[in-house]
Amino acid sequence: MAVHKREQFTEAEQQLATIAKALGHPARVAILKLLAKRQACVCGELVLELPLSQSTVSQHLKELKAAGLVQGEVDGPRVCYCIDPAGWARARQLLGGLLAELPNTNNCC
């Protein structure tokens, strides 16, 4: 596009969109679910579980980290990933807010 106009939306809208965008790929959803299920969350294990190359998984992890949903901790030669508690709390707040704001009723014309 010619120019981004994101700055014209509210902070909450942008944050929610950023989080939703991070969730907007099945690989990243799968990664989050794997991180939630296992205690161990080493990058290499994720690669084994996913139908993607190491570099692609690493890229998805980077995006989840950029969105604040995941954090990584160096553990020797490995990196241990896990859900970022603060970021996920914010995601929970924003997504929950949207679910509350858009009630499950038909208000169509």
Q: Looking at 1-109, list the stretches that DSSP marks H as alpha helix, in order from N- to C-terminal side.
A: 11-22, 26-37, 43-49, 54-66, 85-101
Asked if 109 touches a second copy (CB under 8 A), the answer is yes
State the binding partner of 55 from a second copy, DNA, none, CB within 5 to 8 A by kind: DNA
Largest CA distance in the chain: 60
Give buried/exposed letters for 44-75 (b at 16+ CB in 10 A, else e).
Answer: eebbeebebeeeebeebbebbbebbbbbbeee
Site string for DNA, 41-80 (x = CB under 7 A): -xxx--x----xxxxx-xxxxxx--------x-x-xxxx-
Nearer to DNA, 27 or 94 (CB): 27
Among 3, 8, 48, 76, binds a second copy (CB under 8 A): 8
What is the chain's length? 109
Q: Does 62 bind a second copy (CB under 8 A)?
A: no
Contact with a second copy (CB under 8 A): which of 16, 57, 61, 64?
Answer: 16
